A and B are shown apart, each in its own frame.
Chain A
């Protein structure tokens, strides 16, 4: 009985979240401050509900909820909303909340249609270890950082385009300056890369211990290392070669697409990432 209530409540959250993103979109289109304010409070409300759900879920299962894709997506969406709220509070970069939550909403929507699997996952029960939990949590956090970095680069490209085409107007005025957008995407990548590295090392260690016949050429393993290297190349170009500007932003956007492919596609092909099974 209570499960049905929870499901309804969850669907209710998704609907509110949709309305919130829609309001942000209206603000983006027409510079509507009122829509922006309402959207912010709706978002805060969604965040509060999500946080409560997350805690209830943790109480119920007695562990950190990142062991299945169903849980992982939820946690990922939660990380995105949290980050967007934090950044909105401290940085006041217009539109960052909107774009971040477009991603967040897509993730949550996918989560809504993903199969619930918390009860009877024999393999998950068996494989549980602290190492694995940290591996997944840190990986998701690094994905959160990459997502935001992507949004900053996207805003960079939008602002770049507006300045280039001399489209003076409220959108250009509300978007932050190129230098700040460039710097923020860099900072978030600096945070994301070491986290991903830690996550990969821990994951490997876990695999060594728990899976005797692990294959190195597993798609998810390769994919993750590709992600790590494209972001490392970004950092090298930025720090080592002192590059900035449009091409770097494009590189960052491309890198995030690899993150998405790795997250959604390669897992399906992986032999031992039981997330998707």
Chain B
């Protein structure tokens, strides 16, 4: 296999995790980090072999571990190992639900998550806060380094930009929110607005909850059975009225939510015509969520009355979803550009060829040692050879972990050039590095898709 991602040979970004798309809630709830222990978790993971940097994002919909590792398969192994240890669950139990993305795919995933494109409600903004908090905590615990400090900052900035430059999070994507949004377009704020609820059923209660939460403080409930109206009104500090008082209540209301089980229209145009004059042109927002409808559609012809039924609201939700999808496409393009930019930054980090050269030299020494051992001990069995090979490699990996980590950090500092020079001198790898730098030029032209595929196979 041609080594496309030569530049990343020894520094891989990966994400291992599960979310609402890959795992049912029974699994998700067992693999959710307690927010107060997340620092400990990140610290524990940091001490694992092969893990150079890590950030853990854990919400009710997702548990995701982002890591910079020196080798992909060992990284993968130790992250799973860590999950199994932390949650006391056998690997076999959760492994089928895990997703693993590497390199550009991992970066893309992080950008998608931060922008809310991976969320259940497309374009929601809460997740950005969670990504940010996790990152800041990781930074505080020093489980991140040069690479993630750059990557996560970029992700957060990108997500903020995506939210401000597109309308992805702007509009309501549920019926009750759509109603609130419409009400706000009529009244501005719902503060001190008078809500009249017709029908004390579940829908009626849901409507009050929503409007109440948005500031509407005066509530009147009207229901066929007065006791039910009393009960619901009591819970929201409101007033209960009988059906006979409907017309007078209509004079005072700003918002009417109707959800009775009546077969015929409860509010007719004639009834509204009776109160029209007394309302003095005050706008009335009427929402009919009942099927069959409670409010005579002919009421819509009257001035200063805005009548919406359930289909209208659903139409709005649908339109908003379409808008979000359109915005998501724009954000995808932004993400693609950011990935390219991040990779350019990564390549500029002079450290990549240095680390590869160091590992190449070490592996060469190990290979030489192995041939020498095989020459001196010709009677070794295949199994013995394998064990020896594995352990000598392990020595190298463990010995190199800290220098690699240090080199990576040096690269992020101001005097990077000088420090890296010294580093190369100590390990005597200057020639190897310059060789690698020459190799890198044509490789950087390889398309994104290719290099990620390559990393998947390794």
Partner of A179 from the list B188, B281, B303, B320 (CB cut-off 8 Å) is B188
Decide: B186 and A247 in contact? CB cutoff 8 A. Answer: no
The reply on A173 being an interface residue by CB < 8 A is yes
Count of chain A residues near B, Cβ 8 A:
23
Alpha-carbon distance between A245 and B187 when the two chains are bound, in angstroms: 11
Decide: B186 and A168 in contact? CB cutoff 8 A. Answer: no
Alpha-carbon distance between A178 and B185 when the two chains are bound, in angstroms: 7
Decide: B281 and A246 in contact? CB cutoff 8 A. Answer: yes
Known: A164-B306, A173-B171. A241 touches B280 (CB 8 A): yes
Partner of A244 from the list B167, B185, B282 (CB cut-off 8 Å) is B282
Extra 9 A-B pairs, beta carbons < 8 Å, given A247-B281, A247-B303:
A163-B186, A166-B312, A168-B315, A168-B316, A243-B280, A243-B281, A244-B280, A245-B280, A248-B281
With a 10 A CB-CB cut-off, give which of A163, A175, A241 has the most chain B CB atoms. Answer: A163
The digit string for B292-310, where 1 denotes a CB below 8 A from any CB of A, is: 0000000010011010100
The reply on A62 being an interface residue by CB < 8 A is no
Q: Which of A146-173 contact B (CB under 8 A)?
A: 159, 163-164, 166, 168-170, 172-173
- B319 CB contacts on chain A under 8 angstroms: 168-169
Decide: A245 and B283 in contact? CB cutoff 8 A. Answer: yes
With a 10 A CB-CB cut-off, give which of B182, B280, B312 has the most chain A CB atoms. Answer: B280
Partner of A163 from the list B171, B188, B280, B306 (CB cut-off 8 Å) is B306
Decide: B187 and A179 in contact? CB cutoff 8 A. Answer: yes
Alpha-carbon distance between A44 and B58 when the two chains are bound, in angstroms: 48
The number of inter-chain residue pairs (CB within 8 angstroms) is 57
Q: Which of B246-293 contact A (CB under 8 A)?
A: 280-283
Decide: B167 and A172 in contact? CB cutoff 8 A. Answer: no
The reply on A11 being an interface residue by CB < 8 A is no
The reply on B170 being an interface residue by CB < 8 A is yes
Q: Which of B97-148 contact A (CB under 8 A)?
A: none
The reply on B184 being an interface residue by CB < 8 A is yes
- A244 CB contacts on chain B under 8 angstroms: 280-283
Decide: A177 and B170 in contact? CB cutoff 8 A. Answer: no
The reply on A242 being an interface residue by CB < 8 A is yes
Q: Which of A166-225 contact B (CB under 8 A)?
A: 166, 168-170, 172-173, 175-180
Decide: B304 and A245 in contact? CB cutoff 8 A. Answer: yes
**Shortest distance between the CB of A172 and any CB in chain B (Å):** 7
Decide: A178 and B187 in contact? CB cutoff 8 A. Answer: yes
Partner of B303 from the list A168, A177, A178, A245 (CB cut-off 8 Å) is A245
**Shortest distance between the CB of A269 and any CB in chain B (Å):** 36
Decide: A242 and B280 in contact? CB cutoff 8 A. Answer: yes
Nearest residue in B to A247 (C-beta to C-beta)? B281
- B308 CB contacts on chain A under 8 angstroms: 166
Q: Which of B155-200 contact A (CB under 8 A)?
A: 167, 170-171, 182, 184-188
Decide: B182 and A163 in contact? CB cutoff 8 A. Answer: yes
- B282 CB contacts on chain A under 8 angstroms: 244-245
Partner of A178 from the list B186, B280, B316 (CB cut-off 8 Å) is B186
Alpha-carbon distance between A20 and B316 when the two chains are bound, in angstroms: 33
- A173 CB contacts on chain B under 8 angstroms: 170-171, 185
Alpha-carbon distance between A175 and B320 when the two chains are bound, in angstroms: 17
Alpha-carbon distance between A241 and B187 when the two chains are bound, in angstroms: 20
Nearest residue in B to A242 (C-beta to C-beta)? B280
The digit string for A236-268, where 1 denotes a CB below 8 A from any CB of B, is: 000001111111100000000000000000000
Decide: B187 and A177 in contact? CB cutoff 8 A. Answer: yes
- A243 CB contacts on chain B under 8 angstroms: 280-281
Decide: B283 and A178 in contact? CB cutoff 8 A. Answer: yes
Nearest residue in B to A249 (C-beta to C-beta)? B281
- B167 CB contacts on chain A under 8 angstroms: 170
A–B Cβ pairs within 8 angstroms, 16 of them: A159-B185, A163-B306, A166-B308, A168-B316, A173-B171, A173-B185, A176-B188, A177-B187, A178-B187, A178-B188, A179-B187, A243-B280, A244-B281, A245-B283, A245-B303, A247-B303
Nearest residue in B to A245 (C-beta to C-beta)? B281
Nearest residue in B to A241 (C-beta to C-beta)? B280
Alpha-carbon distance between A168 and B323 when the two chains are bound, in angstroms: 11
- B171 CB contacts on chain A under 8 angstroms: 173
Decide: B186 and A179 in contact? CB cutoff 8 A. Answer: yes
Nearest residue in B to A244 (C-beta to C-beta)? B281
**Shortest distance between the CB of A174 and any CB in chain B (Å):** 10
Partner of B185 from the list A170, A172, A247, A248 (CB cut-off 8 Å) is A172
- B315 CB contacts on chain A under 8 angstroms: 166, 168
Known: A163-B182, A178-B185. A246 touches B303 (CB 8 A): yes
Nearest residue in B to A180 (C-beta to C-beta)? B188
Alpha-carbon distance between A123 and B114 when the two chains are bound, in angstroms: 72
Nearest residue in B to A159 (C-beta to C-beta)? B185
Nearest residue in A to B254 (C-beta to C-beta)? A179
**Shortest distance between the CB of A155 and any CB in chain B (Å):** 12
Alpha-carbon distance between A176 and B185 when the two chains are bound, in angstroms: 7
- A168 CB contacts on chain B under 8 angstroms: 315-316, 319-320
- A159 CB contacts on chain B under 8 angstroms: 185
**Shortest distance between the CB of B322 and any CB in chain A (Å):** 11
Alpha-carbon distance between A242 and B251 when the two chains are bound, in angstroms: 14
- A170 CB contacts on chain B under 8 angstroms: 167
- A248 CB contacts on chain B under 8 angstroms: 281
Nearest residue in B to A166 (C-beta to C-beta)? B312
Alpha-carbon distance between A181 and B308 when the two chains are bound, in angstroms: 22
- B186 CB contacts on chain A under 8 angstroms: 163, 177-179
**Shortest distance between the CB of A24 and any CB in chain B (Å):** 20
Nearest residue in B to A33 (C-beta to C-beta)? B165
- B281 CB contacts on chain A under 8 angstroms: 243-248
Alpha-carbon distance between A175 and B308 when the two chains are bound, in angstroms: 19
- A176 CB contacts on chain B under 8 angstroms: 188
Alpha-carbon distance between A254 and B185 when the two chains are bound, in angstroms: 25
Alpha-carbon distance between A265 and B331 when the two chains are bound, in angstroms: 54
Nearest residue in B to A179 (C-beta to C-beta)? B188
**Shortest distance between the CB of A105 and any CB in chain B (Å):** 29
- A175 CB contacts on chain B under 8 angstroms: 185
With a 10 A CB-CB cut-off, give which of B182, B186, B283 has the most chain A CB atoms. Answer: B283
Nearest residue in B to A175 (C-beta to C-beta)? B185
- B316 CB contacts on chain A under 8 angstroms: 168
With a 10 A CB-CB cut-off, give which of B187, B188, B281, B303 has the most chain A CB atoms. Answer: B281
Alpha-carbon distance between A248 and B167 when the two chains are bound, in angstroms: 34
The digit string for A112-132, where 1 denotes a CB below 8 A from any CB of B, is: 000000000000000000000
**Shortest distance between the CB of B164 and any CB in chain A (Å):** 10
Alpha-carbon distance between A246 and B182 when the two chains are bound, in angstroms: 18
